[in-house]
Amino acid sequence: MDGFDFDVIQRSIGYLFREGMTFTVTLTLIAMTGGIIFGTLLAMMRLSSVPLLSWGAGAYVNLMRSIPLVLVIFWFFFLVPYIGAWILRESQPVHVGAWLSAVITFTMFEAAYYCEIMRAGIQSIPRGQVWSGYALGLNYWQTMGFIVLPQAFRNMVPVLLTQTIILFQDTSLVYVISATDFLGAAAKVANRDYRLVEMYSFVAVVYFIVSYSLSLVVKQLQDRIAIIR
């Protein structure tokens, strides 16, 4: 520990947070929002009585959940340019940067995990709630939007947030496509100044502080919003 160089952290801390942490937090927030929206839609599809919808959503979710996130990141990194070309009717794959690729990857990947949480949430609502919605003359979307989803969402907030903490940690895997997230920024400094011990220890401490604080908040929230049945 004698040679531990705190100076390199002090020198680069502005860059780490301005470039890296901004990337990480923005990516987490966008992927969380998109993931919950798509995940809820996927959950509704999985629970639908139309076989094609439930089968399709089930296949997507199970596929995403059985292959490693690193492989999914590679898949989308190379696939998105082709999809872009297909949508824009170009003949060559379009150029997509690491940032957009990461946003799409994490939104699509997390949707599968949020889907399973929302599915459990929807299933935790008694069937009578749905029937009373229909009895009142509401259609499917109204029943879902005004009665089922708000309750399901409320019940699942702690699990959704816990998933988001995991998402926050998992965004560090964008390192494999050389994006400059918090870890990526630290790795660049570490390799430039040859200060790997200092930088990676610092990164670990920062991730720990953020994730642990968030998990304490979730725990408190859990006690507060638990519905006594």
Partner 1 sequence: MHYNWHWKVLLETEPGGTGSYLHYLIVGLGWTLVTALAAWVIALLVGAFVGTIRTTTLRWAVRLGNLYVEIFRNIPLIVQMFLWFFVVPELLPQAMGDWIKQMPPPWGSYLPAVFCLGIFTSVRVAEQVRAGINSLPRGQRFAGTAMGLTQAQTYRYVILPQAFRIILPPLTSESMNIIKNSSVALTIGLLELTGRARAMQEFSFRVFEAFTAATVIYLLTNLIVVLLMRVLENKVRVPGLIAAGAAPQAGH
Binding residues vs partner 1 (CB under 8 A): 1, 63, 66-71, 74-75, 78-79, 82, 85-86, 89-93, 113, 116-117, 120-121, 156, 159, 162-163, 165-167, 169-170, 172-173, 175-176, 183, 196-197, 200-201, 203-204, 207-208, 211-212, 215
Looking at the Cβ atoms of 133 and 171, the one nearer to partner 1 is 171
CB atoms within 10 A of CB 87: 9
The distance of closest approach from Cβ of residue 157 to partner 1 in the complex, given in angstroms and rounded to an integer, is: 12
Q: How far apart are CA 209 and CA 23, in angstroms?
A: 18
Q: How far apart are CA 207 and CA 69, in angstroms?
A: 19
Q: How far apart are CA 160 and CA 105, in angstroms?
A: 18
Q: How far apart are CA 116 and CA 111, in angstroms?
A: 9
The distance of closest approach from Cβ of residue 146 to partner 1 in the complex, given in angstroms and rounded to an integer, is: 23
The distance of closest approach from Cβ of residue 138 to partner 1 in the complex, given in angstroms and rounded to an integer, is: 26
The distance of closest approach from Cβ of residue 14 to partner 1 in the complex, given in angstroms and rounded to an integer, is: 21
Looking at the Cβ atoms of 133 and 170, the one nearer to partner 1 is 170
Looking at the Cβ atoms of 34 and 121, the one nearer to partner 1 is 121
Q: How far apart are CA 40 and CA 27, in angstroms?
A: 19
The distance of closest approach from Cβ of residue 135 to partner 1 in the complex, given in angstroms and rounded to an integer, is: 29
Q: How far apart are CA 98 and CA 106, in angstroms?
A: 12
Looking at the Cβ atoms of 2 and 137, the one nearer to partner 1 is 2
Q: How far apart are CA 199 and CA 183, in angstroms?
A: 9
Measured on CA atoms in the order 119, 120, 125, 131, is the torsion positive or negative?
Answer: positive
Looking at the Cβ atoms of 49 and 66, the one nearer to partner 1 is 66
Indicate the SS3 state at residue 90.
coil
Looking at the Cβ atoms of 22 and 211, the one nearer to partner 1 is 211
The distance of closest approach from Cβ of residue 65 to partner 1 in the complex, given in angstroms and rounded to an integer, is: 8
Q: How far apart are CA 131 and CA 137, in angstroms?
A: 10
Q: How far apart are CA 156 and CA 76, in angstroms?
A: 29
